[in-house]
Structure 1
Amino acid sequence: MDNIENTKVKLVDKIKYDKTLIKEGFVQNFDFNTYDHKKTGLIFIFTAIIFPFSINILLSYLFADHKQYALLASQVIGWIIAATGGIIIYKNEKDKFIRTGAIGFYIFLFLGPVISFIISLVLGVINPNLTSIPIEVNFSVQIIAQIISIYFIFKASPQTLKRIKHTIKKQTKLLVVIVLLSGLIIILANVAFSQLDFLINKKTSSNQESLLQGLNKWWNMVLMFILVVLVAPVIEELATRHGIFTLCGNEWLSLLASTLFFAGMHIQATGEWNHLLAYIAPGFLLGLLFIFVNGNVTYAIFAHSFINLVSFILLVGGTL
């Protein structure tokens, strides 16, 4: 029993950082109680997750015959509510909001879509006859928007970037082991939940089907690889794990919130909430991983990337 406890302590100590480095300001341990979960945490959860998602569900079902307009309206209303909550949190503690990386969630929520929208408008002006954006353009726009978002997050919170670099350099072997083990567990759980979702709904979600579009062209495969394996895991983990766990102020409340948001953000654009089950497992287990590694987002980023890499290989392999 003592040997098991000693092994656990050594593993946790390995994931944590040398106190000298922390005192020197090189890296900072993650604080799960940065904000008051009864005040800031609830403001965040209701304005950024519960209200926007509830409006999306309500409008998409009430106006099913005009779903495209209903989803657009719910997106705009959701942004207004989320922005209001973000402003309230920012005004209460400006320095903490930026320094801790909490701002990363809102950068992810707003900056990427705004950049994508602007580029889409420009394309529409250049080619008025354009009825739909080509898949390669869509991938490219998402890559550019997400890279810009990542840049601003690291610019606002350099300690987060320093911690990632430090982990890669000092904990390489442990990083590989934990990423592979957790990644395989999450993949198996995701397969099980996806199969269960398919049995219930008799089909896959539109989000999953859209990934198959254009994969008969090699350049689309390259763009998809860059997006889903290299870029998306970084911005999504900075937002849905680091950002949400910072803003909620309680690790278990954060786990619930991040699981719901991670699943919801993959189906909010289509309003197919009946497919929520298909995205629950990865969000929940990546959140558990984040707690296990004491809030070190590096592990979540690489685990997420590994999961997407395996999915990408299987997806592309199935189209060849």
Structure 2
Amino acid sequence: MNNIHSQSVPSTINKKVRIFNRLERDIDKEFPFQFKKNNLFSDGLIFVITGLIIPFICAMILEVAFSLHESVLKESNSWQFYLNSFVYYGSNGLGWIILYLRNKKDTPRNYFYWFIYFPIICALMFEILVFSFFSSSQYKTEITNLSSMAGQIIGEILIIIFFLCQRIESGKIAATFRKEKFPLLLLVIIVIIMMFILSTIICSYLIEQKLMNVKESDNQKQLNSVLNSNNQAIFIFGYISLILLTVIVAPLCEEICMRYSVFYLTGNRYVAIFVSGFYFGFVHYGLEGDFQHLLSYTSAGLILAYLFNYTNGNITYNWLTHASYNIISLIVTVTS
């Protein structure tokens, strides 16, 4: 009797534990993610060095030796910022060219590099176009910032469209909504709570704000700046653009490029967790040298990267988690 009872308990526990895994495996068989498509020690190493290591080291040197962040705060067009941007875009461009020459038909790789160049090119085009019409306006700066945000939104939408045109990826998202409603909702809630505890409360509030006396990040200031206009039309357009970018467009685009593409390019799912997490953080603070917010952004990136690994490359979980987190953060920002 004791033997029968001791065997039935683990069996019941295993059955409950396998509920989520069974649903996950069904979709993985139909829409598998290629974690080992690239070799970590060839293409993966090229990507990590040119995409993260070189830009990170350059930004760190410029911050320590030449006060990159302080120079940006005083003058947005400082030589430190331009040099840092040149290294960032140049290094990634070099990596893109090398990887393209090694495999010209590698579509998943392109999303990462499209994310680096598409939004900034669209933003610059919009800024030039709008500035030519409103160069003498008293709201010139605010209009330029809005046009830059509009260009970024269009650039990221283009990436999303290209991604969803891939039937395997759009099919996997649709299948997840259809077959995994309960695990999807449950895991999204759990991860959001984890992100708020680790990233928002511990890293941002307790360590950065209270212990280090660090103020609002440059990235957050840029997003909030569109809500500070005295012009009603600019305020309304800025509010709509901010919601569209932070809640709808950016979460999906960033997960495509910083999770899906990074894991594919790295060639090792465990190394990719750290590459993805640190790159996500660097994108939000690196160009301005705002290293004081490294912990909060990187911790959020690491959690999202682990989630992508845990769900075997199912971007649906990351997309909804990222979007929900941004919605809550936006509500808190607006109401406060």
In the superposition, the TM-score normalised over structure 1's length comes to 0.88
- Equivalent of residue 222 in structure 2, options 176, 201, 210: 210
Instruction: Give the equivalent residue in structure 1 for 2:41.
Output: 38
- 1:104/1:243 contact within 8 Å kept: yes
**Structure 1 residue 197: deviation in Å?**
1.4
- Equivalent of residue 197 in structure 1, options 208, 214, 219: 208
Alignment root-mean-square deviation, CA: 2.1
User: 5+ residue gaps in structure 1?
Assistant: 23-27
Instruction: Give the equivalent residue in structure 2 for 1:114.
Output: 121
Q: Report the Cα distance in structure 1 between the residues aligned to 2:186 and 2:320, rounded to whole angstroms.
A: 11
User: 5+ residue gaps in structure 2?
Assistant: 1-9, 73-77, 229-234
Number of matched pairs: 308
Quick one: which amino acid aligns to residue 70 of structure 1?
A: Q
Query: Which one has a bigger Cα radius of gyration?
Result: 2
After the TM superposition, which of the residue ranges 265-274 and 299-308 deviates more from structure 2? Answer: 265-274
Q: Does 1:14 align with 2:23?
A: yes
**Structure 1 residue 126: deviation in Å?**
3.1
Change (3 A) 1:133 1:268: farther
Q: Report the Cα distance in structure 2 between the residues aligned to 1:140 and 1:116, rounded to whole angstroms.
A: 7
- 1:60/1:71 contact within 8 Å kept: no
Q: Does 1:293 align with 2:311?
A: yes
Instruction: Give the equivalent residue in structure 2 for 1:90.
Output: 100
Deviations 1:244-302 (A, max 9, x none): 01111111100010011000000123211122112122101111111111110110000
- 2:124/2:148 contact within 8 Å kept: no
Quick one: which amino acid aligns to residue 57 of structure 1?
A: M
**Structure 1 residue 55: deviation in Å?**
1.6
Instruction: Give the equivalent residue in structure 1 for 2:181.
Output: 172
Quick one: which amino acid aligns to residue 224 of structure 2?
A: L
In the superposition, the TM-score normalised over structure 2's length comes to 0.84
Q: How does 1:1-320 map to 2 (within 5 A)?
A: 1-17=10-26, 22=30, 28-64=31-67, 67=72, 68-95=78-105, 97-98=106-107, 101-129=108-136, 132-134=141-143, 135-155=145-165, 157-191=166-200, 192-195=202-205, 196-198=207-209, 199-215=211-227, 217-318=235-336
After the TM superposition, which of the residue ranges 270-279 and 85-94 deviates more from structure 2? Answer: 85-94
Change (3 A) 1:159 1:174: same
Quick one: which amino acid aligns to residue 222 of structure 2?
A: S
- 1:183/1:306 contact within 8 Å kept: yes
Q: Report the Cα distance in structure 1 between the residues aligned to 2:241 and 2:126, rounded to whole angstroms.
A: 17
Q: Report the Cα distance in structure 1 between the residues aligned to 2:265 and 2:27, rounded to whole angstroms.
A: 25
- 1:139/1:223 contact within 8 Å kept: yes
**Structure 1 residue 187: deviation in Å?**
1.7
After the TM superposition, which of the residue ranges 278-287 and 6-15 deviates more from structure 2? Answer: 6-15
Change (3 A) 1:55 1:133: farther
